[in-house]
Amino acid sequence: MPQSTRELIKFLAVSLASFMATNRQNNQKWTKSRVADYISGSTDISGSISDTTIGRFLDPNYPQEPSPSSIRMVSEFLLHHGWISQNQLDLIDRKKEVQIAAALSEFFNAGDLAPDRELREKLDGSFVSYILRVPYLLETTLYVTHHHDERLISCAETMRLFKVNGNQQIKVFTKNINQKNFGGMESTIKAVGAKLVIEHFCSGAGVANSGLVTFLMKADKETTFSSVISLDSINMNDAKEICGLSGSRNRGWITLDEDETLAPYDNISKASPHHALRYLCGRVEYYPQLISEVQHMRVAENSKGDDSDVRKFYGSLPEITKGKQHEKQNMDEDVNDPFWARVDEIVSKTETPDEKIKLAIEWGSLKHFKAALEEGADADMKIGRGYPLIFAFAATSGMHEWTKALVEIGKCDLSCTDEYGMLPNHRPAVLADTWEKAGRKELSDGFLKNSLYLQEQQIKQHIEKHGITQRYDDWFDPK
C-alpha cells in the first residue's frame, strides 16, 4: 500500500479515537457500535459499516488494511462532524515539510489577510548570505516556497563552510561581501581554490504573519544540526521588493571539553570547522540570490570533485527554484586577471563541449560559451525543469549577447515550446511589459530586446524550414 495511504489510515484512526474519547451526543459516549450505526444510517454518507470493522480500524496491530470504502466512510464521518478538514486530507499526499507547515500555520494563525498574503508571496524565492571570518567563509542559501492554496511556507537551506588561505583571496571575498556583490562568488570560490570543509543540508517549515516570521529547519543527517531562524527585519526597496532579511539563529548548545572555549566571533582562527560553522551561522543576513536558473547546472571540475549530493538535493526541491530569479551580471574577462587564467586552465581540462558550456554559463564567460558552441556543444540542452537552454537566456535581462551566440553559432531550435505551448520569445515579452509598468526601464528594455530578436529569428527559421518564399519584411517589422 502506498505510503500516503498508510499515513491517511493512521491520521483517520487517531482522529476517530480522539473524537470518540472527547465527544458526546445526547450525553452519551460514542462507541464503536454508535459510530457504525451513525455511518450506516446517515443520508450524507453512502454505504454501511459494522462495529467490528470500526474496531479493526482503530486497532494498530490488526494485520489487514481497511478497504477503500471503509477509509472513505470514516473520512466522511469525521468531515461531517467537523473534526477534520478537507485541507488536512489533501495534505496527506504532500511532503512532510508541507504537512508540518500546515500545522504551524494553523497553530500560529497565519491568516489570509492581504498583508500576510503579500508577505508570503514576497518571501517566495531564494536568498543568500556570505560571512567571512578568517580563515573561514560561510555560504548560506535559504530557499523559501509559498504554497498559495494552503497559505503555507516550506523551506530548505544549504550551508557550505570554506577554508580560505592567502591574503589576496581574502581581500577579494571581503570586497565582494562589503559590496554585496554575490553574483560571481561561486566562480571566485572555485578559482582561488578555497577548500570546502563542511556541507550542511536541512529542510523545514515556516510561519509568516504580521507578528512573526520564523523558519524551523530539520537537519538531514545526525552529524549536522537542526535550528530555528527568526527574522527581525525585512528590508524593502522602492519597488516594494525584498532587498534584505536579517535576524538570528538558535544554534543549539555545543559540548566543550575541559578548558576549551569557543573563539570570539571576530577571531575564530583556532576554532574547529564544526564550531566555526555553528558560531558563524548565528548571525542571519540574507539577500535575494542574484543567479539565473542556468547557474544550478553545476558540474564537478574534475574526477575528484563529486557534486552528486548537491544535485540530488536541488532535484528534491521542484518548487523552490521558481520565484525571484535575477540575471547574473557578467564579469569582464581581463586576460591579465589570475582569476580568468584559472578559468582557462579548468575549462581546457574539461573533456566534452557540453561540460564546457555549463562551466562557461556558471562563471559568466561568454568567450568560453562561444567556444563550446563552436566545438559542438548541444544548443538545445535541457536544463532546470526540462526546458531548452534558450528559455533561460530569453527570460534573463542582460543576456542578449548570450542569446545571439546560442542562436547564431549554436543553431538551436526556436520552434520549441514550454509547458504552456509558448515559444521562447513569449516570456521576455511578458517580463518587458511587467517591468515597464513597474517603472524599471533598463530591465524592460533588456527583455524587449531579447523578445524582438527571438521573434525575428523564429520567423527566419520557420521560413527556412518550410521553404516559404514570402518576403521576410512582410512577416516582421522590428519597428
pLDDT tens by residue, 177-194: 766 666 667 767 776 778
Residue at a domain's end among 35, 58, 93: 93
Between 224 and 60, where is the model more confident?
60
Grade residue 309 by pLDDT with cuts at 50, 70 and 90.
Answer: very low
157 occurs within a structural domain: yes
Give me the phi and psi of 62, to 5 degrees please.
-70, 125
pLDDT of 305 > 60? The answer is: no
Residue 397 has pLDDT above 70, yes or no: no
Residue whose entry in the numeric block shows the C-alpha cell 494498530:
60
Summarize the confidence of residues 381-399 as an average pLDDT: 75
439: left (phi over 0), alpha (psi -120 to 50) or beta: left
Instruction: Say how many CA atoms lie within 13 Å of 368 toward its Cβ.
Output: 30
Average pLDDT (126-130) is 87
Q: Are residues 112 and 81 in the same domain?
A: no
State pLDDT tens for residues 450-475. 889 888 888 888 888 776 555 544 44
Residue 163 contacts by C-beta under 8 Å, 6 or more apart in sequence? 135, 136, 137, 194, 195, 197, 273
User: Rounded to the nearest 10 degrees, how much is the dihedral formed by the CA atoms of 333, 338, 342, 348?
Assistant: 60
**In this predicted model, what pLDDT tens digit does every residue of 419-429 receive, in sequence order?**
778 888 888 88
Instruction: Check whether 103 has a pLDDT greater than 80.
Output: no
Residues 6+ apart with CB under 8 A from 144: 123, 124, 125, 126, 127, 153, 154, 155, 206, 215, 320, 323
Mean pLDDT value across residues 357-371: 80
Examine the domain organization and report whether 386 and 457 are in the same domain. Answer: yes
pLDDT of residue 183: 61
Residue 327 inside a domain? The answer is no
Helix (H) or strand (E) holding 436: helix 426-437
CATH number of the domain encompassing residue 393: 1.25.40.20
Binned at pLDDT 50, 70 and 90, residue 230 comes out as very high
Give percent of the chain above pLDDT 70.
Answer: 72
Domain edge (last residue) among 93, 127, 145: 93
Same domain, 224 and 243: yes
Greater model confidence, 95 or 412: 412
Residue 279: pLDDT band (50, 70, 90) is confident
Question: 0.85 cut: is pTM over it?
Answer: no
Residues 75 and 141 reside in one and the same domain = no
Helix axes 3-22, 51-58, angle to 10 degrees: 110
| 280 plus 425 within the same structural domain | no
Could you give the percent of the chain with pLDDT greater than 90? 10
Average pLDDT over residues 68-96: 81
Res. 267 pLDDT band, cuts 50 70 90 = low
Domain membership flag for residue 329: no
Distance between CA atoms of residues 292 and 342, nearest Å: 23
A 10 A CB-CB count for 163 gives 15
Domains identified in the chain, total number: 3
Q: Are strands 24-25 and 213-219 parallel, antiparallel or unpaired?
A: unpaired
Q: Give the bridge partners for 184, in sequence order.
A: none
Q: Is the pLDDT of residue 212 over 90?
A: no
| pLDDT mean across residues, the chain | 76
Report for 82-91, 225-234, 252-261, 350-359: range of highest mean pLDDT: 225-234
The pLDDT assigned to 32 comes to 92
In sequence order, the 6+-apart residues with CB closer than 8 A to the CB of 248 are 229, 230, 232, 282, 283, 284
Q: Final residue of a domain: which of 32, 61, 93?
A: 93
Average pLDDT over residues 6-33: 85
Residue 332 lies in a domain: no
Same domain (yes/no): 181, 218: yes
Together in a domain, 301 and 404: no
Residue 260 belongs to a domain: yes
Q: What is the rounded radius of gyration, in angstroms, for the C-alpha atoms of the chain?
A: 28
* pLDDT tens, residue by residue, 135-166: 888 999 888 888 766 677 888 888 889 988 77
Q: Is the model's pLDDT at 357 over the cut of 60? A: yes
- pLDDT, residue 113, reads 66
Q: Which residue has the higher pLDDT, 436 or 479?
A: 436
Rounded Cα distance between 168 and 372, Å, is: 31
Given pLDDT bands bounded at 50, 70 and 90, which one contains residue 436? confident
Q: Is the pLDDT of residue 296 over 80?
A: no
242-250 and 195-208 strand pairing: unpaired
Q: For residue 308, what pLDDT band results from cuts at 50, 70 and 90?
A: very low
Distance CA 104, CA 95 (A): 15
Claim to verify: residue 114 and residue 62 sit in the same structural domain: no
**Beta bridge mates, 129:** 140
Contact criterion met (CB below 8 Å) for 120 and 208: yes
Question: Does 174 map to a domain?
Answer: yes
- 307 and 386 fall within a common domain: no
Give the range of the structural domain holding residue 252, as residue numbers without chain letter: 98-315
Same domain, 254 and 369: no
- What b-and-e string marks burial along 61-97, b requiring 16 or more CB atoms within 10 Å of the CB? eeeeebeeebbebbbbbbbeeeebeeebeebbebbeb
Cβ–Cβ under 8 Å, residues 456 and 428? no
The reply to whether 459 falls in a domain is yes
Average pLDDT of the segment spanning 329-344: 55
The per-residue pLDDT for 380 is 87
State the residue for C-alpha cell 503555507. Answer: 152
Helix (H, G, I), strand (E, B) or coil at 206: strand
Q: Is 414 helix (H, G, I), strand (E, B) or coil?
A: coil
Asked if 154 and 281 sit in the same domain, the reply is yes
If asked whether residues 379 and 307 sit together in one domain, one would say no
